[in-house]
Structure 1
Amino acid sequence: MDENSPLFAIAVAAELAGMHPQTLRQYDRIGLVSPRRTAGKSRRYSMRDVAQLREVARLSSEGVSLEGIARILQLENQVSALSARVQELESALAEEVLNRPGRRVFASSVEGETVSLRHGTRTSRRTELVVWRPAAHPHPAELPPLD
Protein backbone atom coordinates (compact mmCIF):
# COMPACT_ATOMS: atom_id res chain seq x y z
CA MET A 1 0.00 0.00 0.00
CA ASP A 2 1.19 3.49 -0.77
CA GLU A 3 0.07 6.89 0.47
CA ASN A 4 -2.28 7.33 -2.51
CA SER A 5 -4.33 4.18 -1.90
CA PRO A 6 -7.99 5.12 -1.30
CA LEU A 7 -8.65 3.53 2.09
CA PHE A 8 -10.83 5.66 4.32
CA ALA A 9 -14.53 6.44 4.22
CA ILE A 10 -15.44 10.05 4.83
CA ALA A 11 -16.20 9.55 8.55
CA VAL A 12 -12.80 7.98 9.22
CA ALA A 13 -10.94 10.57 7.10
CA ALA A 14 -12.76 13.37 8.93
CA GLU A 15 -11.77 11.93 12.28
CA LEU A 16 -8.13 11.49 11.21
CA ALA A 17 -8.04 15.07 9.91
CA GLY A 18 -9.84 16.49 12.96
CA MET A 19 -12.71 17.88 10.87
CA HIS A 20 -16.42 17.42 10.42
CA PRO A 21 -17.47 15.18 7.49
CA GLN A 22 -19.49 18.08 6.06
CA THR A 23 -16.29 20.12 5.82
CA LEU A 24 -14.71 17.34 3.75
CA ARG A 25 -17.74 17.32 1.45
CA GLN A 26 -17.44 21.09 1.02
CA TYR A 27 -13.71 20.85 0.26
CA ASP A 28 -14.49 18.14 -2.30
CA ARG A 29 -17.18 20.33 -3.93
CA ILE A 30 -14.82 23.28 -4.33
CA GLY A 31 -11.97 21.02 -5.50
CA LEU A 32 -9.68 21.64 -2.55
CA VAL A 33 -9.16 17.97 -1.61
CA SER A 34 -10.89 15.56 -3.98
CA PRO A 35 -10.88 11.92 -2.90
CA ARG A 36 -11.37 8.99 -5.25
CA ARG A 37 -14.81 7.48 -5.66
CA THR A 38 -15.94 3.87 -5.42
CA ALA A 39 -18.25 2.27 -7.99
CA GLY A 40 -21.16 3.32 -5.75
CA LYS A 41 -19.87 6.95 -5.76
CA SER A 42 -18.74 6.87 -2.10
CA ARG A 43 -15.71 8.97 -1.26
CA ARG A 44 -12.51 7.13 -0.34
CA TYR A 45 -9.66 9.14 1.14
CA SER A 46 -5.99 8.19 1.04
CA MET A 47 -3.34 8.99 3.63
CA ARG A 48 -2.13 11.73 1.27
CA ASP A 49 -5.67 13.20 1.22
CA VAL A 50 -5.75 13.16 5.02
CA ALA A 51 -2.36 14.89 5.15
CA GLN A 52 -3.67 17.54 2.74
CA LEU A 53 -6.78 18.01 4.90
CA ARG A 54 -4.55 18.58 7.92
CA GLU A 55 -2.53 21.09 5.88
CA VAL A 56 -5.76 22.86 4.90
CA ALA A 57 -6.74 23.08 8.57
CA ARG A 58 -3.31 24.43 9.53
CA LEU A 59 -3.26 27.05 6.79
CA SER A 60 -6.84 28.05 7.51
CA SER A 61 -6.03 28.54 11.19
CA GLU A 62 -3.17 30.83 10.11
CA GLY A 63 -5.62 33.02 8.20
CA VAL A 64 -4.95 31.85 4.64
CA SER A 65 -8.03 32.05 2.41
CA LEU A 66 -9.46 28.97 0.70
CA GLU A 67 -8.27 30.34 -2.66
CA GLY A 68 -4.78 30.74 -1.24
CA ILE A 69 -4.88 27.25 0.23
CA ALA A 70 -6.03 25.85 -3.14
CA ARG A 71 -3.07 27.52 -4.86
CA ILE A 72 -0.62 26.26 -2.23
CA LEU A 73 -1.94 22.70 -2.57
CA GLN A 74 -1.75 22.97 -6.36
CA LEU A 75 1.87 24.05 -6.18
CA GLU A 76 2.72 21.34 -3.64
CA ASN A 77 1.11 18.73 -5.91
CA GLN A 78 3.09 20.08 -8.85
CA VAL A 79 6.34 19.89 -6.88
CA SER A 80 5.52 16.29 -5.88
CA ALA A 81 4.82 15.35 -9.50
CA LEU A 82 8.02 17.01 -10.70
CA SER A 83 10.05 15.34 -7.96
CA ALA A 84 8.64 11.97 -8.96
CA ARG A 85 9.52 12.70 -12.60
CA VAL A 86 13.07 13.70 -11.67
CA GLN A 87 13.46 10.49 -9.67
CA GLU A 88 12.11 8.50 -12.63
CA LEU A 89 14.57 10.18 -15.01
CA GLU A 90 17.48 9.70 -12.59
CA SER A 91 16.65 6.00 -12.36
CA ALA A 92 16.45 5.71 -16.14
CA LEU A 93 19.78 7.49 -16.51
CA ALA A 94 21.45 5.30 -13.87
CA GLU A 95 20.11 2.20 -15.62
CA GLU A 96 21.37 3.46 -18.97
CA VAL A 97 24.81 4.17 -17.53
CA LEU A 98 24.96 0.68 -16.01
CA ASN A 99 23.75 -1.04 -19.19
CA ARG A 100 26.02 0.87 -21.55
CA PRO A 101 29.07 2.13 -19.70
CA GLY A 102 31.34 4.42 -21.64
CA ARG A 103 29.07 4.69 -24.66
CA ARG A 104 28.69 8.44 -24.68
CA VAL A 105 30.94 11.28 -23.73
CA PHE A 106 29.96 14.90 -23.96
CA ALA A 107 32.19 17.91 -24.45
CA SER A 108 31.82 21.58 -25.21
CA SER A 109 32.67 22.97 -28.64
CA VAL A 110 34.53 26.24 -29.17
CA GLU A 111 31.18 27.94 -29.73
CA GLY A 112 29.91 26.63 -26.38
CA GLU A 113 27.61 23.96 -27.83
CA THR A 114 27.40 20.47 -26.31
CA VAL A 115 28.77 17.80 -28.61
CA SER A 116 28.57 14.02 -28.29
CA LEU A 117 31.78 12.03 -28.74
CA ARG A 118 32.55 8.35 -28.97
CA HIS A 119 34.22 6.79 -25.97
CA GLY A 120 37.98 7.24 -26.16
CA THR A 121 37.96 10.21 -28.54
CA ARG A 122 38.83 13.79 -27.81
CA THR A 123 37.71 17.05 -29.27
CA SER A 124 40.03 18.71 -31.74
CA ARG A 125 41.82 21.55 -30.09
CA ARG A 126 42.57 24.85 -31.70
CA THR A 127 46.28 25.32 -32.00
CA GLU A 128 46.58 28.62 -33.89
CA LEU A 129 49.06 31.08 -32.55
CA VAL A 130 47.72 34.59 -32.10
CA VAL A 131 50.18 37.43 -31.73
CA TRP A 132 49.05 40.71 -30.32
CA ARG A 133 50.92 43.82 -31.14
CA PRO A 134 49.86 47.14 -29.72
CA ALA A 135 49.05 49.84 -32.25
CA ALA A 136 51.84 52.30 -32.81
CA HIS A 137 51.20 55.15 -30.41
CA PRO A 138 53.27 58.29 -30.47
CA HIS A 139 55.48 59.04 -27.51
CA PRO A 140 53.64 61.31 -25.01
CA ALA A 141 56.09 64.12 -25.77
CA GLU A 142 55.05 63.95 -29.44
CA LEU A 143 51.34 64.43 -28.69
CA PRO A 144 49.82 67.86 -29.41
CA PRO A 145 49.05 69.95 -26.33
CA LEU A 146 45.52 69.82 -24.87
CA ASP A 147 43.64 73.11 -24.95
Structure 2
Amino acid sequence: MKQRYIAFLKLCLGWLIILSTYVLIYSVPFLIGLNLKHVLGVLLIVLPYTAGAWYYSVYCKGNSKTFYALGFLVPCIIEKILIYLISTFMYDMNPLYIANVMRKIEEGSLYSVSFFSWGYVFGGLLIAVMMTIFLVRLQIKTKEQ
Protein backbone atom coordinates (compact mmCIF):
# COMPACT_ATOMS: atom_id res chain seq x y z
CA MET A 1 0.00 0.00 0.00
CA LYS A 2 2.81 2.38 0.87
CA GLN A 3 4.48 1.71 -2.51
CA ARG A 4 1.29 2.79 -4.33
CA TYR A 5 1.12 5.93 -2.26
CA ILE A 6 4.70 6.83 -3.14
CA ALA A 7 4.03 6.12 -6.82
CA PHE A 8 0.97 8.38 -6.70
CA LEU A 9 2.99 11.17 -5.08
CA LYS A 10 5.65 10.85 -7.78
CA LEU A 11 2.92 11.01 -10.42
CA CYS A 12 1.45 14.14 -8.82
CA LEU A 13 4.89 15.75 -8.65
CA GLY A 14 5.35 15.05 -12.36
CA TRP A 15 1.99 16.70 -13.06
CA LEU A 16 3.08 19.69 -10.97
CA ILE A 17 6.32 19.97 -12.95
CA ILE A 18 4.38 19.87 -16.23
CA LEU A 19 1.91 22.47 -14.94
CA SER A 20 4.57 24.82 -13.60
CA THR A 21 6.57 24.63 -16.85
CA TYR A 22 3.37 25.30 -18.80
CA VAL A 23 2.49 28.33 -16.67
CA LEU A 24 6.03 29.71 -16.88
CA ILE A 25 6.13 29.40 -20.68
CA TYR A 26 2.66 30.88 -21.03
CA SER A 27 3.21 33.79 -18.69
CA VAL A 28 6.43 35.17 -20.19
CA PRO A 29 5.03 36.16 -23.65
CA PHE A 30 1.75 37.20 -22.04
CA LEU A 31 3.50 39.60 -19.66
CA ILE A 32 5.78 40.97 -22.37
CA GLY A 33 2.89 41.40 -24.77
CA LEU A 34 4.12 39.26 -27.64
CA ASN A 35 1.44 37.62 -29.75
CA LEU A 36 3.36 34.86 -31.52
CA LYS A 37 0.60 32.29 -31.39
CA HIS A 38 2.29 29.53 -33.39
CA VAL A 39 5.59 29.81 -31.52
CA LEU A 40 3.76 29.85 -28.21
CA GLY A 41 1.70 26.83 -29.24
CA VAL A 42 4.78 24.81 -30.18
CA LEU A 43 6.57 25.77 -26.97
CA LEU A 44 3.52 24.83 -24.90
CA ILE A 45 3.28 21.48 -26.65
CA VAL A 46 6.94 20.48 -26.41
CA LEU A 47 8.63 21.96 -23.34
CA PRO A 48 6.29 20.96 -20.48
CA TYR A 49 6.16 17.34 -21.60
CA THR A 50 9.92 17.28 -22.14
CA ALA A 51 10.41 18.52 -18.57
CA GLY A 52 7.98 15.86 -17.38
CA ALA A 53 9.79 13.16 -19.37
CA TRP A 54 13.09 14.22 -17.84
CA TYR A 55 11.61 13.99 -14.33
CA TYR A 56 9.99 10.60 -14.96
CA SER A 57 13.14 9.18 -16.56
CA VAL A 58 15.42 10.28 -13.72
CA TYR A 59 13.28 9.89 -10.59
CA CYS A 60 10.56 7.38 -11.52
CA LYS A 61 12.46 4.43 -12.91
CA GLY A 62 10.91 0.99 -13.00
CA ASN A 63 7.24 1.98 -13.17
CA SER A 64 4.56 0.49 -15.38
CA LYS A 65 3.32 1.63 -18.78
CA THR A 66 0.15 2.83 -17.12
CA PHE A 67 2.13 5.08 -14.80
CA TYR A 68 3.85 6.86 -17.68
CA ALA A 69 0.65 7.05 -19.74
CA LEU A 70 -1.14 8.67 -16.81
CA GLY A 71 1.84 10.96 -16.27
CA PHE A 72 1.44 12.50 -19.72
CA LEU A 73 -2.09 11.90 -20.95
CA VAL A 74 -3.96 13.13 -17.87
CA PRO A 75 -2.42 16.64 -17.85
CA CYS A 76 -2.59 16.82 -21.65
CA ILE A 77 -6.30 15.98 -21.81
CA ILE A 78 -7.24 18.08 -18.78
CA GLU A 79 -5.39 21.09 -20.20
CA LYS A 80 -7.19 20.84 -23.54
CA ILE A 81 -10.60 20.44 -21.89
CA LEU A 82 -10.02 23.38 -19.52
CA ILE A 83 -8.87 25.70 -22.30
CA TYR A 84 -11.89 24.70 -24.39
CA LEU A 85 -14.39 25.18 -21.56
CA ILE A 86 -12.88 28.50 -20.46
CA SER A 87 -13.02 29.69 -24.07
CA THR A 88 -16.68 28.71 -24.41
CA PHE A 89 -17.41 30.64 -21.24
CA MET A 90 -15.47 33.70 -22.44
CA TYR A 91 -17.16 33.65 -25.86
CA ASP A 92 -20.54 32.89 -24.30
CA MET A 93 -21.09 29.89 -26.59
CA ASN A 94 -22.63 26.49 -26.08
CA PRO A 95 -19.84 23.94 -25.46
CA LEU A 96 -21.70 21.33 -27.50
CA TYR A 97 -21.00 23.22 -30.75
CA ILE A 98 -17.38 22.12 -30.96
CA ALA A 99 -16.68 23.23 -34.54
CA ASN A 100 -18.09 26.73 -33.94
CA VAL A 101 -16.16 27.18 -30.72
CA MET A 102 -12.90 26.01 -32.31
CA ARG A 103 -13.44 28.33 -35.28
CA LYS A 104 -14.02 31.27 -32.93
CA ILE A 105 -10.89 30.41 -30.93
CA GLU A 106 -8.77 30.05 -34.08
CA GLU A 107 -9.84 33.51 -35.22
CA GLY A 108 -7.78 34.67 -32.28
CA SER A 109 -9.93 37.50 -31.03
CA LEU A 110 -8.96 36.47 -27.51
CA TYR A 111 -5.21 36.71 -26.99
CA SER A 112 -5.21 34.37 -24.03
CA VAL A 113 -6.04 31.30 -26.12
CA SER A 114 -4.99 32.36 -29.61
CA PHE A 115 -2.54 29.43 -29.83
CA PHE A 116 -5.34 26.90 -29.29
CA SER A 117 -6.33 25.09 -32.50
CA TRP A 118 -6.94 21.60 -33.82
CA GLY A 119 -3.21 21.32 -34.51
CA TYR A 120 -2.47 22.19 -30.90
CA VAL A 121 -4.93 19.58 -29.64
CA PHE A 122 -3.67 16.74 -31.83
CA GLY A 123 -0.03 17.82 -31.57
CA GLY A 124 -0.24 17.79 -27.78
CA LEU A 125 -1.78 14.33 -27.77
CA LEU A 126 0.86 13.10 -30.20
CA ILE A 127 3.71 14.46 -28.06
CA ALA A 128 2.18 12.90 -24.92
CA VAL A 129 1.93 9.49 -26.63
CA MET A 130 5.47 9.81 -28.02
CA MET A 131 6.88 10.67 -24.58
CA THR A 132 5.05 7.70 -23.06
CA ILE A 133 6.48 5.33 -25.69
CA PHE A 134 9.94 6.83 -25.21
CA LEU A 135 9.88 6.27 -21.45
CA VAL A 136 8.50 2.73 -21.75
CA ARG A 137 11.26 1.82 -24.22
CA LEU A 138 13.84 3.48 -22.00
CA GLN A 139 12.65 1.38 -19.09
CA ILE A 140 12.83 -1.81 -21.17
CA LYS A 141 16.35 -0.92 -22.31
CA THR A 142 17.56 -0.27 -18.74
CA LYS A 143 16.04 -3.55 -17.50
CA GLU A 144 17.89 -5.49 -20.21
CA GLN A 145 21.25 -4.04 -19.20
Structure with the higher fraction of residues in strand conformation:
1
Which of the pair has the greater relative contact order for Cα pairs under 8 Å at 6+ separation?
2
TM-score between both structures, scaled by the size of structure 2: 0.31
Query: Between Structure 1 and Structure 2, whose CA radius of gyration is higher?
Result: 1
